[in-house]
Amino acid sequence: MKVCKFGGSSVADAKQIKKILNIINNDATKKYIVVSAPGKRHNKDVKVTDLLIGLVEAVTYRKDYQELIAQILERFLQIERELNIRHSLIETFRTQLNDYIMRYQDQPERLTDALKSCGEDFNAQLIASYNNEQGIMTTYLSPGDIGLIVSDEPSNAIVLEESYEKIKNNLAHAEGKVIIPGFFGVNKNGDINTFSRGGSDITGAIIASSLSSDVYENFTDVSGIFSANPNIVDHPASIIQLTYEEMRELSYAGFSVFHDEALLPVYRSQIPVNIKNTNDPDHPGTLITNTRQSTGVVGVSCDTGFASINMKKYLMNREIGFTRRLLSILEDMNISYEHMPSGIDDISIILRAHQLEGKEAKLLEKIEHELKVDALSIEKNIAILMVVGLGMKTLVGTANKATEAFKAHNINLKMINQGSSEISMMFGIEEKDANQAVLAAYEAYFTH
């Protein structure tokens, strides 16, 4: 038995929906289907989730929002028309949107999550209803119906442990195909809370894990994961297989094909994830598993928007508790960091620059005052390039390849870090060099 998830572009219009139904209806093992909200039909199109966020803003700022409701419903109406659906659901959807607006207009966070959930929710109902009309027994079940209980953290919910058992029991006797909307769950009081953006991947992973699915098939619009960003590298190699850990390292620094929070449930229950293409379903795609035959580097990723807080203090290495006090300052200010390269008398904290918004001056003042450092500076516009691959452990010269390539392109390295697990290497560079560095590293590892 398989759990399948179809992303926004796979369910963006009637043509795509027919494709996904073809994929699931022709395979009895594909039983549990998680769907996203309709995504972009072309480059300039707007995702239904973004239209819904626009609706939240209009309601919150007391603007006229009827036009937006009409625009959202039009997306679904067009799908219904092109599918020749006999029993239209549009009026039910209209009532649902208006109900949420009435109920939550003075509770912005609840309103946001309730309205945001509608993209997935309506799409799942519509697809289930159409499949039934085609004579294929299909059930729509909402996250509330199946027991997907999440923390009460609007727009950033986390699944609660109890959900796994509940989902397993609730879905045990479901008949026919089961269609479930992705992206949201309900808290213990039944209020809707969404995951972070792109969170339908998380829903699919939770269900796959609850049901011990043989594989979690995640359908998108590319044939698997590439070794580097295809917007930077021309036709990069596809990755046939990689491990959960390698995927985590790559998605941390910009690989967005699969939501990084979705890895945890499948990693824990060791369910393989197969990233596949709705438009080319016979292509094997990329398989994410617990282990694999180790080869060299599997991918190169790069993300921008980092900052580095650099400090120096003479005899820092002798000062017991220096790092602990530094980390307590970060903890008190609710700031998380990503890397902490250090020397004997200096240490740097690399973090996502957005975390400093509104806190920078206070943070620097605290470090200066409490740690009495000799020098303190903050550098922004830093990019982090990750070279990832299990094989690194046993391969001599992996770092050398990248540094040679950077040297050849005159790219200045600000820092280098390798974790103890030896599955990735981090290079800190200036943002302006990011694309050139990806090209250089890709060439060094994949074309020689």
Q: Measure the CA–CA gap between 49 and 54, rounded to whole angstroms.
A: 9
Q: Output the smallest distance, CB 48 to ligand ASP, in A.
A: 7
Cβ-contact 55, 72 below 8 angstroms: yes
Question: Is the CB of 110 or the CB of 313 nearer to ligand ASP?
Answer: 110
Question: Is the CB of 117 or the CB of 308 nearer to ligand ASP?
Answer: 117
Closest CA to 285 of 271, 298, 275, 300: 275
Q: Output the smallest distance, CB 126 to ligand ASP, in A.
A: 15
Question: Is the CB of 49 or the CB of 308 nearer to ligand ASP?
Answer: 49
Q: Output the smallest distance, CB 23 to ligand ASP, in A.
A: 18
Cβ-contact 120, 48 below 8 angstroms: no
Please give the full DSSP string across 217-245, using - where no structure is assigned.
EEEESSSS-BSS-TTTSSSPPBPSEEEHH
Phi then psi dihedrals of residue 149, to 5 deg? -95, 130
Q: Output the smallest distance, CB 202 to ligand ASP, in A.
A: 8
Question: Is the CB of 124 or the CB of 437 nearer to ligand ASP?
Answer: 124
Q: Output the smallest distance, CB 218 to ligand ASP, in A.
A: 10
Question: Is the CB of 198 or the CB of 236 nearer to ligand ASP?
Answer: 198
Cβ-contact 195, 157 below 8 angstroms: yes
For ligand ASP, the binding residues (CB under 6 A) are: 7-8, 36-37, 47, 49, 119, 182-183, 197-200
Residue nearest to ligand ASP (CB): 200
Phi then psi dihedrals of residue 277, to 5 deg? -110, 120
Please give the full DSSP string across 412-430, using - where no structure is assigned.
PP-EEEE-TT-SEEEEEEE
Question: Is the CB of 119 or the CB of 236 nearer to ligand ASP?
Answer: 119
Q: Output the smallest distance, CB 362 to ligand ASP, in A.
A: 33
Please tell me the number of Cα atoms within 13 Å of 388 on its side-chain side.
26
Q: Measure the CA–CA gap between 264 and 271, rounded to whole angstroms.
A: 10
Provide the 3-class DSSP secondary structure of residue 295: coil
Question: Is the CB of 49 or the CB of 310 nearer to ligand ASP?
Answer: 49
Q: Output the smallest distance, CB 53 to ligand ASP, in A.
A: 9
Please give the full DSSP string across 359-409, using - where no structure is assigned.
THHHHHHHHHHHH--SEEEEEEEEEEEEEE-GGGGT-TTHHHHHHHHHHHT
Q: Output the smallest distance, CB 125 to ligand ASP, in A.
A: 15
Q: Measure the CA–CA gap between 34 and 213, rounded to whole angstroms.
A: 13
Question: Is the CB of 140 or the CB of 445 nearer to ligand ASP?
Answer: 140
| β-pair type (215-220, 273-277) | parallel
Q: Output the smallest distance, CB 97 to ligand ASP, in A.
A: 16
Question: Is the CB of 9 or the CB of 241 nearer to ligand ASP?
Answer: 9
Q: Output the smallest distance, CB 261 to ligand ASP, in A.
A: 11
Question: Is the CB of 47 or the CB of 313 nearer to ligand ASP?
Answer: 47
For residue 279, how many other CB atoms are within 10 A of its CB?
A: 15
Q: Output the smallest distance, CB 361 to ligand ASP, in A.
A: 33
Question: Is the CB of 150 or the CB of 228 nearer to ligand ASP?
Answer: 150
Residues 6+ apart with CB under 8 A from 87: 129, 133
For residue 283, how many other CB atoms are within 10 A of its CB?
A: 13
Cβ-contact 66, 41 below 8 angstroms: no
Q: Measure the CA–CA gap between 121 and 36, rounded to whole angstroms.
A: 8
